[in-house]
Structure 1
Amino acid sequence: MTASAPAVGAVTAVRDAVVVPTLQPGRGPVRAATYLSADPAHVLWGRLPCATDAPVLTVDPGTEVTIDTVSHEGLLEDQGRDPVAFFARHGVDPGDVLADGIALAASDRPRDPHDDGPHVVTGPIAVRGALPGDVLTMTVVEVVPRVGYGVVSNRHGRGALPGELPEGPETVSVFTRLRADGPGSYTLSMPRGAGERTVEFPADPFLGIMGVATATDERAHSVPPGPHGGNVDIRLLTPGAALHLPVQVPGALAYVGDPHFAQGDGEVALTAVEGSLRATIRFDVVPAAVATERFGELTGPLVETPTHLVPTGLDEDLDEAVRACVRNAIALLTARYGFDRAHALAYLSAATDFDISQVVDRVKGVHARIRIAEIA
Structure 2
Amino acid sequence: MAKTLIKIDINQSPYENENIHNRWHPDIPMAVSVKPGDDFIVECYEWTGGQIQNNDSAEDVRDVDLTKVHFLSGPIEVEGAEPGDLLEVDIMDIGTLAESQWGFNGFFSKENGGGFLTEHYPEAQKSIWDFNGIYTKSRHIPGVEFAGIIHPGLIGTMPSHEMLKEWNDREKELYDTDPNRVPGLVNLPFAKTAHMGKLQGSEKESAAATAARTVPPRENGGNCDIKDLTKGAKIYFPVYVKGAGLSVGDLHFSQGDGEITFCGAIEMAGWIHLRVNLVKNGMEKYAIKNPIFKPSPLTPNYNDYLIFEGVSVDEQGKQHYLDVQVAYRQAVLNAIEYLKKFGYSGAQAYSLLGCAPIQAHISGVVDVPNACATLWLPTEIFDFDINPGANKPEKNPKDISDLPLAINPPQIKS
TM-score band, normalised by shorter chain:
0.5 to 0.7
Counterpart of 2:391 in structure 1 is none
Counterpart of 1:246 in structure 2 is 238
Q: Which one of the candidate residues 253, 258, 263 is aligned to 1:266?
A: 258
Matched, 1:57 2:49: no
Cα offset, 1:72, TM superposition: 3.0
Cα offset, 1:75, TM superposition: 2.5
Which residue identity lines up with residue 137 of structure 2 in the other structure?
A: S
- Render the CA deviation track for 1:265-314: whole Å, top value 9, x for unaligned: 011111200011211111111100x5544xx2100111113569xxxxxx
Cα offset, 1:320, TM superposition: 9.4
Matched, 1:142 2:102: no
- SS of structure 2 residue aligned to 1:41: coil
Q: Specify every segment of 5 or more residues in structure 1 that has no aligned partner in the other structure, as ranges.
A: 1-30, 80-85, 92-111, 181-185, 309-317, 322-352, 357-365, 367-376
Note if contact 1:73-1:274 (Cα within 8 Å) is conserved in structure 2.
no
Q: Which one of the candidate residues 99, 106, 120 is aligned to 2:71?
A: 120
- Render the CA deviation track for 1:31-51: whole Å, top value 9, x for unaligned: 413521136211113x23x21
Counterpart of 2:164 in structure 1 is none
Which residue identity lines up with residue 287 of structure 2 in the other structure?
A: E
Note if contact 2:257-2:360 (Cα within 8 Å) is conserved in structure 1.
no
Hey, what's the Cα distance between the residues in 2 that align with 1:73 and 1:153? 12
Matched, 1:205 2:155: no
CA 175–284 in structure 1, closer or farther in 2 if over 3 Å, else same:
same
Note if contact 1:209-1:231 (Cα within 8 Å) is conserved in structure 2.
yes
* Matched-pair identity in %: 27
Structural mapping, 1:153-302, within 5 Å? 153-157=106-110, 158-166=114-122, 168=123, 171-180=124-133, 186-191=134-139, 193=141, 197-216=142-161, 218-270=210-262, 271-288=264-281, 292-293=284-285, 296-302=286-292
Counterpart of 1:333 in structure 2 is none
TM-score (norm 1): 0.59
Counterpart of 2:393 in structure 1 is none
Structural mapping, 1:84-123, within 5 Å? 86-87=53-54, 89=55, 113=65, 116=67, 118-123=69-74
TM-score (norm 2): 0.53
Cα offset, 1:354, TM superposition: 8.1
Counterpart of 2:105 in structure 1 is 152
Q: Which one of the candidate residues 276, 279, 293 is aligned to 1:303?
A: 293
Counterpart of 1:108 in structure 2 is none
Counterpart of 1:37 in structure 2 is 7
Hey, what's the Cα distance between the residues in 2 that align with 1:284 and 1:62? 5
Which one scores higher on RCO, CA 8 angstroms, separation ≥ 6?
2
RMSD across aligned positions (CA): 3.0
Hey, what's the Cα distance between the residues in 2 that align with 1:132 and 1:354? 34
Which residue identity lines up with residue 76 of structure 2 in the other structure?
A: I
Which residue identity lines up with residue 200 of structure 1 in the other structure?
A: E
Q: Which has the larger radius of gyration?
A: 2
Hey, what's the Cα distance between the residues in 2 that align with 1:283 and 1:190? 36
Which residue identity lines up with residue 134 of structure 1 in the other structure?
A: D
CA 320–125 in structure 1, closer or farther in 2 if over 3 Å, else same:
farther
Note if contact 1:118-1:222 (Cα within 8 Å) is conserved in structure 2.
yes
Which residue identity lines up with residue 258 of structure 1 in the other structure?
A: D
Aligned residues: 242
Cα offset, 1:156, TM superposition: 1.5
Hey, what's the Cα distance between the residues in 1 that align with 2:245 and 2:87? 10
Residues 171-180 or 35-44, more deviating = 35-44
- SS of structure 2 residue aligned to 1:238: coil
Counterpart of 1:350 in structure 2 is none
Cα offset, 1:235, TM superposition: 0.8
Note if contact 2:84-2:238 (Cα within 8 Å) is conserved in structure 1.
yes
Note if contact 2:228-2:296 (Cα within 8 Å) is conserved in structure 1.
no
Hey, what's the Cα distance between the residues in 2 that align with 1:253 and 1:137? 13
Structural mapping, 1:335-374, within 5 Å? 355=361
Hey, what's the Cα distance between the residues in 1 that align with 2:116 and 2:219? 23
Cα offset, 1:161, TM superposition: 0.8
- SS of structure 1 residue aligned to 2:18: helix
Hey, what's the Cα distance between the residues in 1 that align with 2:226 and 2:296? 15
Hey, what's the Cα distance between the residues in 1 that align with 2:31 and 2:48? 24
Hey, what's the Cα distance between the residues in 1 that align with 2:255 and 2:48? 15
Note if contact 1:73-1:151 (Cα within 8 Å) is conserved in structure 2.
no
- Render the CA deviation track for 1:216-272: whole Å, top value 9, x for unaligned: 263221110110111011111111111111101111011000000000001111120
Cα offset, 1:162, TM superposition: 1.4
Cα offset, 1:163, TM superposition: 2.7
